[in-house]
Amino acid sequence: MTTMDPVTAVIAELPEVTEGVRYGHSAWAVGKDVFAWVRPFSKADLKRFGDEAPPSGPILAVRTADLNEKEAILAAHPRACFTISHFDGFAAVLVDIDNTEDDELRELIIDGWLVYAPKDVAETFLAGS
């Protein structure tokens, strides 16, 4: 089983991020706005998978700018990203850490951070990347 180490390594690079807890699991925010959080499946989620096996590794939820970006991310990263009915109409994707390359994970987390990062902070960070 993969750990969340790659996630925390990327998040550690991002300015103005605080770590907290959301529903008993790690969550990361810019100001008061959470942009990424550990999202295990609930019993109801598992039931909705039916006969299909859900991803077994750690799952990270990451905010997207809007529903159009969500759909674009799902199309561009079909192996790494997915959604569930609980997330219908919600601008976020689920990331299967076990099926995500390091550079892909970094891109997804930074994109989520950019949703809430102050413009000047984001510009400075991106200029140095």
Whether 2 and 98 have beta carbons less than 8 Å apart is answered as yes
Q: So what's the pLDDT on residue 93?
A: 98
Reading the block at residue 102, the tokens are: 């390091």
Q: Could you state, in order of their start, the residue ranges of all structural domains in the chain?
A: 5-122
The series of mean pLDDT values per 10 residues for the chain, 129 residues long, is 82 96 94 96 89 89 98 97 94 95 95 97 93
CATH class belonging to 5-122: alpha beta
C-alpha radius of gyration, the chain, whole number? 14
- Please, is 48 exposed, middle or buried when counting C-beta atoms within 10 Å of its C-beta (0-12, 13-18, 19+)? middle
Q: So what's the pLDDT on residue 1?
A: 44
